[in-house]
Amino acid sequence: MKIRNLLVTLVSVLALATGVQAQDKAAKATETELETKMDDLNAAYRKLGREINDASKNADSLKQVAIIKTAATAALKLEPAKKKEIPAADQAKFVADYQAGMKQFIGNIDKLEAALKAGKNAEAAELLKALKHDQEEGHKQFRKDKKAKKKAA
């Protein structure tokens, strides 16, 4: 009897794990290429935020900056999913504005990189605030609002 219970538990756990895996795959499959780049950027940005004031970590901070720049440069070549919700006549301007926002962001990354290379951590920390501002503006203008995204999904 005990073995039977154990088997039932084992089968249930396996079924649950497979279900979770399938769900995970489905979520990844629906992720846009831009979202993938943003996820890369996000992880490096968070790490950078934790160590920006610590000059002894500047070598790693510069690695995070490089990851952010690579992701942002790739993002510049992509288009936000929200474009589809914009009237056709306004789409070109929408994409041009997005690219301008992303270029401004990359410009601030370059400044932050220069500050870190010069060992100016206080200046780098200020520039991180500029990146946050670019993020907030970028998301407000170019990212689908979450409720709309859920409805669409």
Site for ligand HEM, rule CB under 6 A: 31-32, 34-35, 38-39, 41-42, 45, 80-82, 98, 101-102, 105, 131, 134-135, 138-139, 142-143
Report the nearest approach of ligand HEM to the CB of residue 6 (Å). Answer: 39
Contact between residue 115 and residue 127 where contact means Cβ atoms under 8 Å apart: yes
Pairwise CA distance, residues 2 & 10, whole Å: 12
Report the nearest approach of ligand HEM to the CB of residue 7 (Å). Answer: 39
Cα→Cα distances 53→25, 122, 128, 151, Å: 38, 7, 11, 41
Q: How far is CA 42 from the centre of its chain?
A: 4
> By C-beta, is 9 or 32 nearer to ligand HEM?
32
> By C-beta, is 15 or 46 nearer to ligand HEM?
46
Question: Which residue's CB atom is positioned nearest to ligand HEM?
Answer: 138
In the block, which residue shows the tokens 């970028």?
Answer: 138
Pairwise CA distance, residues 109 & 125, whole Å: 12
> By C-beta, is 55 or 78 nearer to ligand HEM?
78
